């Protein structure tokens, strides 16, 4: 990779770091208010994902398979709720983030659940301080669209054992119809768009080409045609379950509608 591209990546990483240091400094106080607890239902679903999960997050854990004793790198640990789920499921977690405050929050969340991780460290995913062929899986939860996918694809491949997995879920770029529906839905519910950094952007199918090129097996499934259940107060309540079943039935009967889905879950095998 030439110096110009390297410089561009360093600039992006610095902006991401600055944004998330402030974000997770403020988040620490709100998580402290509920003693850094992860809802038990989330931990249970991470440990025992169903055979036909209807939620994209649960499906990602289903694709990871049995985590007991597995060495898992988590890219972008954030507030630590996924780190906690991975550790609860028996994984040896190597969690990293560009934000020190995110790592501090992750450690507190693990501690509150009586858990630990092998590593919780400030690290740039574009250049990881890990040995070659070391890990069973890399897990990325909504972070890939913050990264230079070409460079991190090579890093993922380098640190994974033969047969190792990359599992991720990511937001997809909205078309004009779904964008309009989203704006109406947010307005009706008195909600706002997520805070975002200047460098992040939802992905398109072509953005996954670097991963497709380097890994020998790929599997992808789209979610969230109408079921944006991650924005509901109770993600695994009756309303959320109903919306996900509607999604499942619609997309099973009319698979061409998957092009309008707004989330994708991927698994790549080395």
Per-residue pLDDT 10s for the chain (270 aa) are: 444 346 588 888 888 898 889 989 999 988 888 889 999 989 999 999 987 777 899 999 999 999 999 999 999 999 999 999 999 999 999 999 999 999 999 999 999 999 999 999 999 999 999 999 999 999 999 999 999 999 999 999 999 999 999 999 998 876 555 556 656 655 766 655 556 666 677 888 899 999 999 999 999 999 988 776 555 566 667 777 888 888 889 999 999 999 888 899 999 999
Whole-number pLDDT of residue 54:
79
The domain that contains 79 carries what CATH number?
Answer: 3.40.50.150
Whole-number pLDDT of residue 232:
58
> CA angle 88-94-100, nearest 5°?
105
Sole residue written with tokens 């909205």: 174
Number of structural domains (the chain) is 1
Whole-number pLDDT of residue 77:
96
| Domain residue limits at 60 | 3-269
Point out which residues pair with 193 in neighbouring strands: none
Closest CA to 219 of 164, 171, 267, 253: 267
Decide if 13 contacts 124 (C-beta within 8 A): yes
> CA angle 108-110-113, nearest 5°?
110
Alpha-carbon separation of residue 181 from 24, 84, 188 (angstroms):
30, 34, 11
Q: Name the pTM for this structure.
A: 0.87
Whole-number pLDDT of residue 65:
94
Decide if 107 contacts 80 (C-beta within 8 A): yes
Point out which residues pair with 186 in neighbouring strands: none
Length of the chain: 270
Whole-number pLDDT of residue 5:
44
Alpha-carbon separation of residue 3 from 6, 8, 123, 137, 194 (angstroms):
5, 9, 20, 30, 33
Point out which residues pair with 166 in neighbouring strands: 138, 268
189, burial (CB in 10 Å: exposed 0-12, middle 13-18, buried 19+): exposed
Whole-number pLDDT of residue 189:
61
Whole-number pLDDT of residue 173:
78
* 64/163 Cα distance (integer angstroms): 12
């Amino acid at each position: 990779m030439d110096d110009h591209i390297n410089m561009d990546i360093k600039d992006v990483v610095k902006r991401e770091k600055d944004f998330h240091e402030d974000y997770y400094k403020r988040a620490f106080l709100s998580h402290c208010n509920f003693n850094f607890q992860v809802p038990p239902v989330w931990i249970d679903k991470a440990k025992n994902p169903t055979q036909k999960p209807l939620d994209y997050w649960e499906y990602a854990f289903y694709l990871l398979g049995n985590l007991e004793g597995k060495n898992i790198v988590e890219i972008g640990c954030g507030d630590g709720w996924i780190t906690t789920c991975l550790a609860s499921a028996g994984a040896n977690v190597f969690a990293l983030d560009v934000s020190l405050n995110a790592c501090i929050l992750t450690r507190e969340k693990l501690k509150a659940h009586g858990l630990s991780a092998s590593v919780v460290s400030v690290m740039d995913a574009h250049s990881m301080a890990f040995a070659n062929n070391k890990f069973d899986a890399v897990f990325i939860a909504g972070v890939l669209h913050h990264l230079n996918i070409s460079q991190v694809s090579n890093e993922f491949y380098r640190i994974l054992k033969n047969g190792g997995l990359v599992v991720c879920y990511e937001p997809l770029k909205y078309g004009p119809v779904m964008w309009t529906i989203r704006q109406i839905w947010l307005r009706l519910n008195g909600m706002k768009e997520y805070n975002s950094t200047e460098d992040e952007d939802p992905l398109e199918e072509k953005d996954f080409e670097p991963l497709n090129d380097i890994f020998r097996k790929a599997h992808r499934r789209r979610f969230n045609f109408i079921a944006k259940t991650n924005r509901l107060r109770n993600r695994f309540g009756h309303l959320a379950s109903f919306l996900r079943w509607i999604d499942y039935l619609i997309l099973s009967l009319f698979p061409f509608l998957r092009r309008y889905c707004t989330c994708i879950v991927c698994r790549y095998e080395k």
